[in-house]
Chains A and B, each alone.
Chain A
Amino acid sequence: MFEKTLTDLIRGIRAHKKDEQKYIASCLQEIHQEVKSNDPDIKAMAISKLTYLQMLGYDMSWVSFHVVEVMSFPKFSHKRTGYLAATQSFRQDTDVLMLTTNLLKKDLASGNHMEVGVALNGLADIVTPDLARDLCQDLVAMLNHSRPYVRKKVVLVLYKLFLKFPEALRLSFPRLKEKLDDPDPSVVSAAVNVICELARKNPKNYLSLAPQLFNLLTNSSNNWMLIKIIKLFGALAPLEPRLAKKLTPQIFHMIENTPAMSLLYECIYTAIAGGMLNSDRQSDALAAVCVSKLRTFLESADQNLKYVGLLALAKILPTHPKHVAEHRDIILKCIDDSDISIRLRSLDLVVGMVNKKNLADIVKRLMSHLLPPSNTKNSATNHLLPSTLLEPAYRADIIHRIIYICSQNAYANVTNFEWYVAVLVDLTYVAGVKVGDLLTSQLMDVCVRVKSVRNYCVKAMVKLLSDVTLLENCSLPDSNAEVLYAAAWLAGEYCSYQINPSDTIEYLLQSGVTKLSHRVQAVYVHNILKIYAYWAKSLTYNWDEDAKDDLLRLTTLIDEKFGTFCSCTDLEVQERAHNVRAIISIVREHLTSNVPAQTDETDDYVLSEKAPTVIDELYNLFFAYELNPVAPKAQKKVPIPAGLDLDAWINEPPPQSESSNSGEEESYGFGYRQKLGGSGDLLFSSGSGTAVGRRRRRKNRQKGDRDKGESEEMRVQRRRERRERMKNDPFYIDVGEYDNPTRTKPESPPKSANNEIDVDSIPVVHLTMDDFDFRQKKNKGKSKRSKENRKKEVSALSSLPPVIYTDIGEMPENATLSDDDKDLKPLDQKVSSWRNPNDKGILDIDFSGISNVDLSTPLTENEKFPQTTVYLSPEELRKREEEKNKLRLKEQRNKSIITSDHPTKVKDDHAKSESKKRRSKVKSKKPSNASESSAVTAKKKSMSVKKMTKGEADAENKAKSVSSPTSGTDKVDENKGSHVNEQSVQPVKQNIYTLISGDTLHITYTLSLTSNEELRNEPPTVVASFLIENKGVSDDHFYSGLALRFEPSSDIQFDSTLLHVDGVLKASERREVAVKFRVLGIVGARLTVNGRVTWENNLHTGGFSASDGSGAEIPFAFEIPVATFMLHIPTITPAQFTAFLYKSENFPFSGSTSVNLTVSSSSVEQEFDNAIAQITAVATGTHVVEKVPGAVSIYGRSVQGYQIAGLTKLGVTKEEAEDTEEVKAVLKIELKCTDQAFIDGLVREIERLFALPS
């Protein structure tokens, strides 16, 4: 009695602060010993200590089995310890949980309400789907328990059950509903809690409870429950407008009168969330009261009230922005609160409160959060900056919000775009997180849409390009060097706004550029050429020697620097660079060759030479048209060409359309997508952007130019050929004769002004579907607002330079410019839109099951609780368990003394029902011929030395019926009595198999190992003993020269392949012969012994029926069952078993199978025992370690040293349809082993053992 108590342990840990780990390690070692103790007190104490250590982070999963043991101890204090340990350490996948079913049933049925309470507490935490299914009926029955203490717990535990086993909800809901009228208030409160939780998942099921709940609401004074009821109504009200109306006065009353802040807040929150503040006058008053109450929250010194106040205001904002706006002052104060929770919530509000006037101020405040503390002196309120402000997630959040509030509603709130561009540029530098892509798309979007800002923007972009530090840091993750993508593109596209384009080209050619991402480099390359083209063109207006020298110098520079781009590993960059180089070299050739490009004699201003015309051409290549956004409704306005039926099949769909994700996309039909996707800068990646039109047109034009050389006939010819080729291609949809007119129409590029539109350039043809859908959605509702705003802006804000937007965007030519699109849906304003949708926590639980339960339909007849009749009713079970308990504990203690118990196990089960016998006969694989069955009956009579009951022998038969496909002779052994001593030394019953069973000649055999020791390094040797019996009755029936011949194989090596039976085998005589063989093959795979029986003369000519074969030899084959290799070892104790299992690396392989038994309900447990006996003794050669109701653990070891541990679990479902007592039982067997092949073999054995006749 020197074990440490829990207090000792805790004291010890506190005393060993320095070497805590070491101390705990030594304690754990003691505990390892203690849990194996037979003294319940010591065991419970060990578990209790482990529970404490578990809390400190030490594993206790290895002791789960003992935890269940302690849970099952009769003493309450032990039980409590066990349950606590279980709730703390069990997981859903803990193996032993399935052993707890009956234990829980017993404890739930206990007469002591405290035991019931402990069990309920425990169940709430450890419930699994299996437990929920098995226990739900008991729990529902307990809803009428005499003690309110138990009732309230049951109500709450039921909720946990529903989560795991949603079917139970439908079945038990009527009973649960009754609990709302329970005389005990705590039970009512519990029921409200549960229904509140359920209603949050699927409110419509609970609308019918509204009157009852309303009654509670008006009569109760329990604030705890009132909060829940109100929350519950919050879930119900949106479904039933009348309910909202009815609730409003009540809520109003509570808001005005309750002193409890939590209740007040719940009322306000529910009023908002429940949609009670909508429309009518009464609710508007309510809204006003809510908001004014919330203001007191915000003004309160209590930070919690501030937080919840902001939270509620954010909810009210979408419906009552005006009410909220009144309190802007106090909300803005909260942005600078030192508390991140409050700050984030006030940001929510701010995002919704932004308007034109306060945008700049709010953005400034937000920006100040991003700046390092030293730079924030100007903002006085920002006196302390917690470290959280520097967290990347927070910074990214702020930046997303800034961009969101500025860009929402198509930049409706931005009045000064130069300011906005400046903000974006600033963000590039201060971000400190990776937001480059977002900034890039914003910059491009703004600049393309807003003409007036282009001048400013381009200059800012050039400045960005010239920034060396940005280039240097571009490899850092938070450098936001992606912005250079926008910078380069904008500088190139709008280079007319540049003051000194040649400088820009030099910036673009800085040596650091190669460090940029390839995507950006590609844009660089392309835009260098664009700027170059523009600049060269501008030089031609004042063409002279200097200009020529300048141009030549820059041309040479580009040519030199492009070496690095040309050798870029990225194909896109490389290809573009080569193109540019080629073009540049042409220009240079023209410049240096001194060829007077155009000697225009008539020109009276004599130039020494004129600028090469190639410069003009180069310019025209890029700047023929201005880039404009496509109008949001452009797609809809595209007139459908006459004769085009969009719903008709262009071609009959192929019968089996395969998805084409292969290289077939290269084919003509998909060509557009390919081209656009690859062209990098030609597509906007921005989510808020409009599609861009001009590029497409240019593309087409280029294509047109390229095609110019070919004659129309050639093209038609080529197309025809191609169509012919594609006809049989399943991946290609033949466009047939309906070739899209917009595609085939000869192109005539317009020469004139910006906004002229031709059908060919209608972007719809070029946009990929996914791109388009997205934009269409985003743009819905935008244009209307923006246009209205635009008008107002121009008039109201004349002090600012007028913002010039590009026109509403490009439209197809016969589109009407009207805004009457009725189908425009309002933009779904989700404040959460800036939140990362992938931000899914690990804490997500799947409630889908429970929310799919429908309670509105009445229960049908066949909806009943799953019947688990193998288990008795809890009361009966309790009685029985109490009787058994003492016995079992005693048994458990004595178990280690018993060395070999499985034969006794088998003997325990004597009584056998008649039905079982009948069935097992059917199950055993019997040959169909009549002689065989007559033989069986004959032999039954001859059974003499029987030690087992008939039924048991039947069971044995099943196992022994080893089918042998080669011989076609099925072996059924009935001859239990002929059991004789084998060569094996163990006094253990052996399985006797039949080799040949004829009318006269009958051979059986047994298999055994030569040694009961583990032989790790040599192949196991098996002795096969044959009992040869002549069953003939007359003297004529004799065999002479009888012999067994074996065929050696690579797997099996016989010490002699021939076994002679000396002399003559006379009638009623039996002989024994034995052969040894070594098993070299893999045990577990099918090891088959092949051979034949031969004899020289059989004077009795009519002795064999045709089915026995008429020759002087009979071939045979039998398989060596895996169980043969099992050693006979002493029974291990449960503690050893757990210890083995604990080292899970011992059992890396596992296998499982399940077996169906059909038995009568009265004998389920017996059948279970029988089945276990068969599995252990016959199929696997293992023994039972421990048996608890409904489950058994087994263990065994093989001659090769393999260990087998298993768990067998019984599940029973009653067959409702039949009125017989038949039940279906499913036996689940899970085995773990150290060898894969071995376990496969064992599983196969078990399956064969229970195999039903086919």
Chain B
Amino acid sequence: MRLRKWFQFYNEKQKTNLSTDLSTIILGRKRSMCNVLEYGEHKVIYKRYASLYFAAGVDWDENELYVLEVIHRYVQVLDEYFGNVCELDIIYNFEKAYQVLDELMIGGELQEPSKKAVVRHVLAFERHCELDAVTRNLRQADF
């Protein structure tokens, strides 16, 4: 599990159960199978990129292809932001990966379809943080 974000409240036990349950099912599915998994009251739409699976749970009447597009858009943005993203990028920069996700969606709804805009915003955040770091270093140098 590299990243997970919940748009509804679950308790820890439910979260763990869902996560382990879904990862076993999804990993057990063959590549030739479709990317939709019917899971109780929800559908899980997943997609595999290299060794990473991206999965999203949605309502039954959600457009599956739309969700796949959203997943793809997230991966695209990550790719653009990290420059040919790999699993390690996400592991070591999980905060940034969340940031990207937050800029792409809010509360489970897509907020910014434009890839460039998302990357621009995230980069602006980074710059802002770096500015913080610089001032901090300066202050330390003063001592």
Contact = CB atoms under 8 A, between A and B. Distances in A.
Interface string A41-65: 1000000100110011101000000
Contacts of A252: none
A758 B137 CA distance: 102
B111 A231 contact: no
B109 A80 contact: no
Contacts of A338: 30, 32-33
Contacts of A121: 102-103, 106
A157 B106 contact: yes
A46 to B, nearest CB: 14
Contacts of A189: 110, 113
Q: Is the interface of A mostly helix, strand, loop or mixed?
A: helix
Given A124-B107, A307-B36, A59 B8 contact: no
Contacts of B136: 41, 75
A88 to B, nearest CB: 8
A303 interface: yes
B22 to A, nearest CB: 12
Interface string A298-318: 000011111110010000000
Given A125-B7, A186-B112, A341-B38, A303 B65 contact: no
B37 interface: yes
Contacts of A159: 107, 109
B41 to A, nearest CB: 3
Contacts of B4: 55
B14 A190 contact: no
Nearest to A48: B95
B115 to A, nearest CB: 11
Nearest to A61: B12
A76 B130 CA distance: 10
A227 B42 contact: no
Interface of B: 1-9, 11-12, 14, 16, 28-30, 32-38, 40-42, 57, 61, 63-66, 68-69, 91-92, 94-95, 98-99, 102-103, 106-107, 109-114, 117, 121, 124-125, 128-129, 132-133, 136
B66 A262 contact: yes
Given A55-B4, A81-B95, A843-B40, A222 B33 contact: no
A149 interface: yes
Contacts of A193: 109-111
Contact of B64 (A7, A92, A304, A340): A304
Contact of A227 (B28, B30, B34, B63): B63
Given A84-B98, A262-B68, A339-B33, A114 B125 contact: yes
Nearest to B42: A843
Nearest to B20: A57
Contacts of B29: 339
A57 B12 CA distance: 8
A262 B107 contact: no
Contacts of A6: 95
23 contacts: A10-B91, A51-B95, A59-B12, A76-B125, A77-B132, A81-B95, A117-B103, A117-B121, A118-B125, A194-B109, A200-B61, A224-B66, A224-B69, A224-B113, A227-B66, A304-B34, A304-B68, A338-B32, A339-B34, A342-B34, A841-B42, A842-B14, A843-B41
A303 B106 contact: no
A304 B36 contact: yes
Contact of A190 (B12, B64, B109): B109
A308 B35 CA distance: 10
Contact of B133 (A77, A222, A843): A77
Given A262-B65, A840-B41, A845 B8 contact: yes
Given A48-B95, A186-B113, A843-B40, A160 B63 contact: no
B36 A76 contact: no
B132 to A, nearest CB: 5
Contacts of B35: 303-304
A844 interface: yes
A117 B104 CA distance: 12
A10 B121 CA distance: 26
B39 to A, nearest CB: 8
A222 B63 contact: no
Given A57-B16, A227-B63, A152 B111 contact: yes
A112 B131 CA distance: 14
Interface in A110-150: 112, 114, 117-118, 120-121, 124-125, 149
Contacts of A7: 92
Given A91-B11, A92-B9, A304-B35, 7 more contacts: A6-B95, A51-B95, A80-B99, A114-B125, A231-B63, A341-B33, A386-B30
Given A190-B111, A222-B113, A303-B33, A84 B41 contact: no
Given A159-B107, A197-B109, A341-B33, A266 B132 contact: no
Nearest to B121: A149
Nearest to A222: B113
B33 A56 contact: no
B109 A156 contact: yes
A87 B35 CA distance: 28
A307 B34 CA distance: 7
Q: Give the contact-size bracket for chain A.
A: 35 or more
B107 A341 contact: no
A269 B61 CA distance: 9
Nearest to B112: A186
Contact of A76 (B33, B117, B128): B128
Contacts of B114: 186
Contacts of B111: 152-153, 156, 186, 190, 193
A841 B107 contact: no
Contacts of A75: 132, 136
Contacts of A386: 30
A80 B66 CA distance: 30
A841 B40 CA distance: 6
A56 B1 contact: yes
A806 to B, nearest CB: 41
A159 B106 CA distance: 10
B92 A10 contact: yes
Contacts of B129: 76-77, 80
Q: Which 3 pairs between the two chains have the least Cβ-Cβ distance?
A: A841-B41, A303-B34, A262-B65
Nearest to B8: A845
Nearest to B43: A341
A267 to B, nearest CB: 10
A389 to B, nearest CB: 13
Contacts of A125: 5-7, 107
A393 to B, nearest CB: 11
A1017 B133 CA distance: 55
A149 B99 CA distance: 15
Contact of B107 (A14, A114, A157, A840): A157
B143 to A, nearest CB: 13
Interface string A162-203: 000000000000000000000000100110011001001000
B3 to A, nearest CB: 7
Interface string A315-358: 00000000000000000000000111110100000000000000
Contacts of A231: 63
Contacts of A117: 103, 121, 125
A261 B121 contact: no
A117 B118 CA distance: 12
Interface string A834-869: 000001111111000000000000000000000000
A265 interface: yes
A224 B69 CA distance: 9
Contacts of B40: 839, 841-843
Nearest to A189: B113
Contacts of A92: 9
Given A197-B109, A306-B34, A843-B41, A266 B11 contact: no
Given A77-B132, A114-B128, A121-B102, A265 B63 contact: yes
Contacts of A88: 5
Nearest to A83: B102
Contacts of A112: 128
B94 to A, nearest CB: 6
